[in-house]
Amino acid sequence: MQRFISTIMTSVTKKIPIPRNGVDYRGKLVLAPMVRSGELPSRLLALHYGADLVWGPETVDRSMIGTTRKVNEALSTIDFTRLPSHGAKDPRKDQPESLIYRIHPEREGKHLIFQIGTSDPERAVQAARIVAGDVAGIDVNAGCPKPFSTSGGMGAALLQTPDKLCAILEALIRDIVPEFEIGISVKIRLLETPEKTEYLVRKLCATGITGLTIHCRTTPMRPREKAIREQLRMIAGICRETGVACLMNGDVENRAQAEQLIAEFGVDGAMIATAAETNSSCFRSEADGGLASWNQVVEQYLKTCLEVENRWGNTKYLLNHLIPGKRPEYREVTMSKSYHQACKILGLEHLESQAKEVDEKLGITPDTEYQGRKNKNKKNKSALAAGGQQGKQRSDKKPLSDRGVQSQQPTLAIA
C-alpha cells in the first residue's frame, strides 16, 4: 500500500494538518465500522492480519453519555460501563453493569477510530469527550441505513439534513480537536444524483474534517447490490482540493484489489467490511502469506476472544461468519453453548483449559445460556444500538470490581 502514497501525494494541492494525537488516513487499508462484527476481538484480529486502522461499531451518543471509564487490569483493557436503567429514574445501585465499549489501548489505541451515531451537536461532543482520549479519531456515521439509526435522525438520515450534519462536525472540530488533538471524520453514502453528492462532499470538506469515507452505494441499496464507483474520481478530486483524505468503501475484498482501486480512482485509501467478516486475513498482502485458511483464522479469533473475555454471544455470531456454511463444524458451532464446547468441536484441545476458565468467569453454563436465549428480546435498547459487546450481564456474573477493573475519570488519556 505504501508505494501508492508518493503517487497520491504529488497530486495533493492542500492538506489539512493532522492533529498531534490523530492519524492520517492516506495510504491506509482499514476495517469498516460494523455493529456486532466490529467488537474488540474482531478489531484485534484485523490488526493481527495487517489492517492499518480499525473502526469500532457505530455507538450511539446516548449510550455513551453517562458511562464510567474503568481500567480493567486483568485484561489490560479500558471499559466504558453503565448501570442499566431500563427506563427507571433511580436505577438500583446493586444492578450489574453493562459493558458499552471496550478498548485495548496497547494493541489498538493508536489505530482505533471511534464511530459515533448522533443527530445532535451537543450530544455528539458530550459523548465524544468521554472516549476521545483513548482513540486516534472520531468518525460521524452518516451512512448507516438501518432503522435503529435512521429513525433517530442518525446515520443515513443525516444525508437529508446536511446543515445538521455539518453542525455536528463543526462542533466536534471546535470542542474536541483542541482538547484532545485528534482528527474528526465522516462516513457517508452516495446521494440520488452526482450533483447532490458533489454538493454534499464540498459542504462537508469545508468544515475542517481530516477524512471522508464514501460508501459507494445509495441509502436504499443493499450489500448484495454492486457498488457504484463512477463518482469516485469526482469525490476524490474534491477531497484533494480541500486537503481531506478520501477512503472508499464498497465491494473491496482484499489488499491487492484495494491497491488497484486506489491507483485507478485516485482515492487515498480503502475500507473493507463484508470480506473481513468472512476472513480477516483479507488485509494481508500476498508477500505476507495472502488469505489464510478459515480454520487458521478461527483459531486466532478464538484465542483473541479468550484473551479479552469477549461476550460468548458475540463470539458465536462472528464464528458463524468465519466458518464456511458447508463445513460440518458450522452446524455444530451454531448449536454450541460455550467456549469450551466450541473449542472441542473445532479440535482446539490446547485452548480447552483456558476456555473453561473464561466460561466460568462469564458465568456460562448450559442453564444460563438457555435463559439468555429465551430472554434475548428483553435487552436494553440503548445498549443494543451501541453494538454487540454490550447488553445486560447475567446476574451470576462477578462484578467488574472483582475482576481487576478500576474506575477512572472518563476523559483521562492513555499513556
166 is catalytic: no
Q: Which three cell numbers stand for residue 105?
A: 489501548
Conformation bin of residue 328: beta by default, left when phi > 0, alpha when psi is -120 to 50: alpha
CB 250 within 8 A of CB 21: no
Residue 225 CB coordination number (10 Å): 12
List C-alpha distances in Å: 334 to 227, 299, 330, 389. 31, 16, 6, 18
Nearest CA to 268 out of 185, 333, 176, 340 is that of: 185
Cα dihedral: 191, 194, 200, 203 (round 10): 170
Nearest CA to 185 out of 141, 155, 145 is that of: 141
CA 267 to chain centre: 21
* φ/ψ (deg, to 5) at 169: -65, -45
- Taking the C-alpha atoms of residue 103 and residue 108, their distance in angstroms, rounded to an integer, is 7
- Taking the C-alpha atoms of residue 216 and residue 411, their distance in angstroms, rounded to an integer, is 35
List C-alpha distances in Å: 393 to 28, 81, 149, 330. 36, 11, 24, 26
DSSP label of 280: G
- Taking the C-alpha atoms of residue 118 and residue 150, their distance in angstroms, rounded to an integer, is 10
Q: Which three cell numbers stand for residue 142?
A: 452518516
Alpha helices in 52-176 (DSSP H): 61-64, 105-108, 121-131, 147-150, 162-175
Which residue of the set 144, 246, 305, 343 is catalytic?
A: 144
The amino acid at residue 23 is V
- Taking the C-alpha atoms of residue 65 and residue 334, their distance in angstroms, rounded to an integer, is 34
Contacting residues for 398 by C-beta, under 8 A, at least 6 apart: 361, 363
Catalytic residue ranges: 144
